[in-house]
Amino acid sequence: MPARRSDEGLDAAFAALADPTRRAILSRLARGDATVSELAAPFAMSLPGISKHLKVLERSGLISRGRDAQFRPCHLEVGALDQTLDWISMHRQIWNERFDKLDAHLRDLQSGAKRRRGSER
């Protein structure tokens, strides 16, 4: 079965988020738009190195780049981040429900074992 476009977007977003430098860039952009030079400042990395990270983030849809005279400020695309968060939240809910059922089942097993031990005395 071929991947849906949203699956490809999620794959790209998670791949982009897997790198600590890219996560730090996104954290900086959460405070507002920034130029490549501003984003590169806290890192011991060349501008081409930062640009490679920005290209990954841009391809994933997590950031966009605009035009402001000679500058190309980077902008956090909150919608793409929200889609990733929605996926995580949905799966978290599913797993929480499964763990709740497992907890209830284990409590039932434990109380049944206690009742059997009590009737053996």
Residues 36-70 pLDDT 10s: 999 999 999 999 999 999 999 999 999 999 887 77
- Give the SS3 label for residue 111: helix
Q: Per-residue pLDDT for 3 more than 50?
A: no
Residue 2 has what DSSP assignment?
Answer: P
Helix (H) or strand (E) holding 103: helix 78-120
Q: Residue type at 11?
A: D
The CATH number of residue 113's host domain is 1.10.10.10
Copy the structure tokens of residue 108.
Answer: 């039932």
Domain that holds residue 65: 5-120
CA distance 61 to 25: 14
Share of the chain above pLDDT 90, in %: 64
Report field, pTM of the whole predicted structure over 0.85: no
Copy the structure tokens of residue 106.
Answer: 């284990």
Please tell me the predicted confidence (pLDDT) of residue 72: 83
User: What's the total number of domains in the chain?
Assistant: 1
